[in-house]
Structure 1
Amino acid sequence: MNDVSGYEGNPAPGGAVFDPAEASRALGLTLEEFTPLLAKAAREIRFRLDAVRQGVAEEDLRAVALNSHTLKSVVATLRAEAVRDAAIAMERCAKEGECARCAGMLTCLEERAAELLAELDDV
């Protein structure tokens, strides 16, 4: 699941899922400018994760791919590499038409997203 060609992200320090200071610098923002965006990111992550779940439940692989792709973009902005990797894997799986495998991968995506959301909720 670590095939993330072109991604230049570094792991967050101290076992954190993401580093707000590093993510804000990467966007050219101060931490004060960046912090208000985190609540919006958390809402979008929850929305897209719910849409992925629904797509998996309905075996709608197009919806799974689209929402995994969008989720990947949101978490890449935060430089949350583990969630990004899981979303990339889910998107590829959906595009390859592997419905049963997507269902199995959902738990991993949910776990990585839950870790990130817990950190976002604490900021």
Structure 2
Amino acid sequence: MTAPDLALGVAGLIGSGVAVIHGRLVQRLMVAPIRQQFSVAPGGQRTMARLVGPLLQFSTFGWFTGGITLIVAAYCLAPDTQFALGLLVGSHFLFGAAANLNATRRAHPGWILMAIAVTLILYSLSAHR
């Protein structure tokens, strides 16, 4: 395994790890209270209660599957495929880091870890070209 492959795999581990922690926190701190609030509301509000969880966890799912994809790419796939997947997943991680930085406006583990993952992806991609 080369250093660029290792960097891609580590970026995947970081992305998936951040996703798991993010998912648990979002579920506990946001989804559960919002669902409870909407569950006592009349009619159409219950539809919103069912949508809250999947919508708030959509980014979690993307980060987790993106991380797993990078790990698999690092170990099993050709450099051209790694490059394409690195661009796709890296852009998703970059958006997550930027959104988190914009929301927190301070040092926060979420955007810092995602920024590290993006840096590792960029290193891996630059080494393959």
TM-score bracket for the superposition, by shorter chain length:
0.3 to 0.5
TM-score, length basis structure 1: 0.40
* Structure of higher CA gyration radius: 2
TM-score, length basis structure 2: 0.38
